[in-house]
Amino acid sequence: MMAVYLSTELKVLFRKKLYLLISILLPVAFYLLFTSIIDLPANQQQQYYKEYMYSMAVFSLMSFCLMSFPLDMIEERNNGWYRHLMATPLRASQYFSVKVIRTMIQFALAIIIMFTVAHAYKGVTMSLQNWILSGITLWFGASLFLTLGLVIAQLKDSQKASSLANLLNLGLAIVGGLWFPVNTFPKWMQHIATKTPTYYLKNIAYDFGKDHGVNIDSFVKLVGYSLIFLFIALMINKKRKEI
């Protein structure tokens, strides 16, 4: 039953080509734009191109976590599709598992396209091992953001959920240093930026790109954020059921 439902979800996913393209190609367009208009000395270009590749990859993955993942579930609750599925042998745990798998397939597409564009158009180079390790790190690390998506999914009103998701997506991207380098921020804002989950995710992957290995500190903090978001989602869900 789970395999059948996953197959259906993937068919629906590729029918929604516009949203899929926007979530992947918009960050790619930002990457090409900002790496083209900023004039840097030749000896700094490659470092910037590589770092900004990771920034825009994280931005793309966040849009799936905070937009399509929770908003799809809210829509399906509101239109009765979730209730219909629960009347079949499909269990709630299988339903959520399929949603996660579908989102992680989107992650993989976004990472592969961003890495390919950065390599082909901006000459970003790394060893094959570092490409693979940093890609897997982004892929797995972004899955920890799905717990923040679960918090948004507890809202009943899809319009309010969409507004909150957009606010969080843009806020975490800007404050977390995905659009502009953190070292260009005022000191007080740098302190905030280096405490955001988006900063930690980019940092973990970028450290592989610089051949520095696993950033344990950032990884532990990212897991901590994930557990906090999960706890909040469970508490909201519990209170909603009690009402």
- pLDDT tens digits for 174-226? 999 898 888 888 999 999 999 999 999 999 998 888 888 788 999 999 999 99
The pLDDT value given to residue 212: 81
- pLDDT tens digits for 127-168? 999 999 999 999 999 998 899 999 999 998 889 999 999 999
The pLDDT value given to residue 90: 86
Question: If pLDDT is split at 50, 70 and 90, which confidence band does 40 have?
Answer: confident
Can you give the residue ranges of every domain in the chain?
2-242
Q: Any residues with CB less than 8 A from the CB of 220 and at least 6 apart, and which?
A: none
* pLDDT value at 242 more than 70: no
Q: Model-level pTM?
A: 0.91
Checking 208-213 for CB contacts under 8 A at 24+ apart, the result is 208/130, 208/133, 208/134, 208/137, 209/50, 209/51, 209/54, 209/126, 209/130, 209/134, 211/126, 211/127, 211/130
* Burial zone of 131 (CB within 10 Å; 0-12 exposed, 13-18 middle, 19+ buried): middle
Phi-psi region of 213 (alpha: psi -120 to 50; beta: other; left: phi over 0): left
